[in-house]
Amino acid sequence: MQDLTLIPATRKALPAEPFLGRHLIGGAWVASAETFDRISPAHGVLVSRSALGSAAETEAAIAAARAAFDGGEWSRSSGKARAGVLNRVADLIEANAERMALLECLETGKPIMQARGEVSGAADLWRYAAAQARTMHGDSHDSLGEDMLAVVLKEPIGVVSIITPWNFPFWILGQKLPFALAAGCTCVVKPSEMTPSTTVMLGELLIEAGLPAGTVNIVLGFGQPVGALMASHPDVDMVTFTGSTAVGKSIQAAASGTLKKVALELGGKNAQVIFPDADLDSAADAVTFGVYFNAGECCNSGSRIILHEDIAQDFVTRVVALSRRVAFGDPLDEATQVGAIVTPAHNAKIDGYVQAALAAGARIALGGAPMRIDGLPGEFYAPTIVTGVTPDMAIAQEEVFGPVLSVLTFRTLDEAVALANNASYGLSAGVWSENVHTCLAFARRAQAGTIWTNTWMDGFPEVTFGGMKQSGLGRENGRYGLEEFLEIKSVVMRVGRTRANWVR
């Protein structure tokens, strides 16, 4: 590992005491008899101790959300009133970003600069949702004849269960909760047991912003029993989940008993296709960013590149050189770009994919093993580039969720499209070419919810996000992200006494 850029342990002091997390139910903070701990994956110290939720706390949270919705203080409030609260939340997030970012850094293992950007950037999602609360509207039909008028109402769907993952705990909550609130829904939130603390901190800010009691409830704990009950409970009208495809399928099955609405943002095996006429320097930098951002623990990770044979060797050389310059190390250091892997088990899983590819005939151009950072006991994996990958290998088909790049090659556009679509996932894809016709042809044929052209992972609150195939159901962000939380109702009205009697 001598030729990599490694950042050793800093001298920054860690928090003297763990963050203590409790449930938020009906506007009150609630403890549990049992607790669970989160150990920093980079530093090996106790970061947080949280109340361990059971079926009882989950039932109470759902009941509080149901009563709040039916009571109407939030669900029947004006868009102006909702927007005011959401904008106050955004201001409070920005004011508390530094302390929240520190907890996010320590619980996830991501670099402090990235945690800071994630938390402060999420405020923009709240402000966009606030704007949506003021501008959402239904439709009218005034062409049904002079004696008829119909209007289409868009109403909040009801009580929403929100289940979030560990890799972007605050950002992904920001893609769900403010949009649900803008629509007028009430919510029960379960963060990942590995990253619960920033969600609890947000609960504090919601109270300070004046959100009515019971509108948002937070239950800490594990998928069983908390998440399972949130998905199956008859008083829940919708469940939205981000995480693995396997868990998404189990949530959809649990929700089927009551036919509630389900929105799922699941895994990805995202391909970037690079043509010979691309700006190779820009493409190489974007590929390097795409695979190492958040240590590759990202559903949008650009974990596959599909290179034209004429440029394959040169392009891999460029990415290897850039990868050596990416700073891996202590997440608390401002210079670090890639931090720790979330758990020892996940680190072993990443390495299992790499070793299986080697056994199947692939080659390692860089990395290929777990590594240690001076002064830190935690989990790290070296920047890794695997060449000689064939489409049938697990590393080309399955979500590795680590800093591992798989390299495949092609000769024609048809072959590139076929390789990009040769996965059960369909979250995102990218194409690099200076020829707009090539980019458009690929974008129209690629089976993915987002297609980036000559860029990677640029996102905005205005631009809708979601997947095809086994990458999920439904959409987040943008106008469509708000409409996920709305129910459609048609109201048909007769003007005057113009209907002829049916009974003669």
Q: Is residue 460 included in any domain, yes or no? A: no
Question: Domain for residue 334, yes or no?
Answer: yes
Same domain? 215 vs 275: no
**Mean pLDDT in residue range 92-115:** 98
Domain shared by 290 and 235, yes or no:
no
Q: Which amino acid, one-letter code, is at 153? A: L
pLDDT over threshold 80, residue 2: no
The two three-digit tokens of residue 27, written as one number:
């506007």
Report the b/e string of 290-315 with b at 16+ CB within 10 A. Answer: bbbbbbbbbbbbbbbbbbbeebbeeb
Q: Is residue 62 part of a domain?
A: yes
User: 260-269 pLDDT, tens per residue?
Assistant: 999 999 999 9
Mean of the per-residue pLDDT values for the chain? 97
Mean pLDDT of 320-347: 98
Q: Answer yes or no: do 392 and 417 share one domain.
A: yes
Whether the predicted pLDDT of 504 surpasses 90: no
Q: Is the pLDDT of residue 13 over 90?
A: no
Asked if residue 284 belongs to a domain, the reply is yes
Instruction: With both helix axes pointing from N to C terminus, report the angle between 97-108 and 79-95 in degrees, rounded to the nearest 10.
Output: 70
Does 109 reside within a domain?
yes
- Spatial contact of 206 and 216, defined as CB atoms under 8 Å apart: yes
The pLDDT of residue 233 is 98
Residue 198: give its domain's CATH number: 3.40.605.10
CATH number at residue 407: 3.40.309.10
Residue range 201-235, pLDDT digits in tens:
999 999 999 999 999 999 999 999 999 999 999 99
Contact indicator for 371, 402 with CB cutoff of 8 Å:
no
- Whether 384 and 330 share a structural domain: yes
pLDDT tens, 58-75? 999 999 999 999 999 999
Does some domain include residue 90? yes
Beta bridge partners of 272: 305, 430
Contact 207, 27 (CB under 8 A): yes
Range of the domain at 317: 271-453
Residues 208 and 307 in one domain: no
Assess whether 237 and 275 both reside in one domain.
no
Task: Judge if 61 and 191 occupy the same domain.
Answer: yes
Q: How many whole angstroms separate alpha carbon 425 and alpha carbon 448?
A: 8
285 and 336 inside one domain: yes
Check pLDDT > 70 for residue 383: yes
**Residue 265 bears catalytic tag:** yes
Active-site residue, from 298, 299, 399, 439: 299
62 with 180, same domain: the answer is: yes
Same structural domain, 324 and 384:
yes
> Domains in the chain: how many in total?
2
Q: What value does the mean pLDDT take over residues 426-447? A: 98
Is residue 498 in some structural domain?
no
| Whether residue 359 sits in one domain with residue 249 | no
Residue 299 is a catalytic residue? yes
Judged against a pLDDT cut of 70, whether residue 99 lies above it is answered with: yes
Annotated catalytic residue within 265, 379, 399, 483? 265
Q: Identify the pLDDT of residue 11.
A: 83
Q: Are residues 275 and 261 in the same domain?
A: no
Is residue 5 in a domain? Answer: no
Reported as a single tens digit per residue, the pLDDT across 265-312 is 999 999 999 999 999 999 999 999 999 999 999 999 999 999 999 999
The model carries a pTM of: 0.97
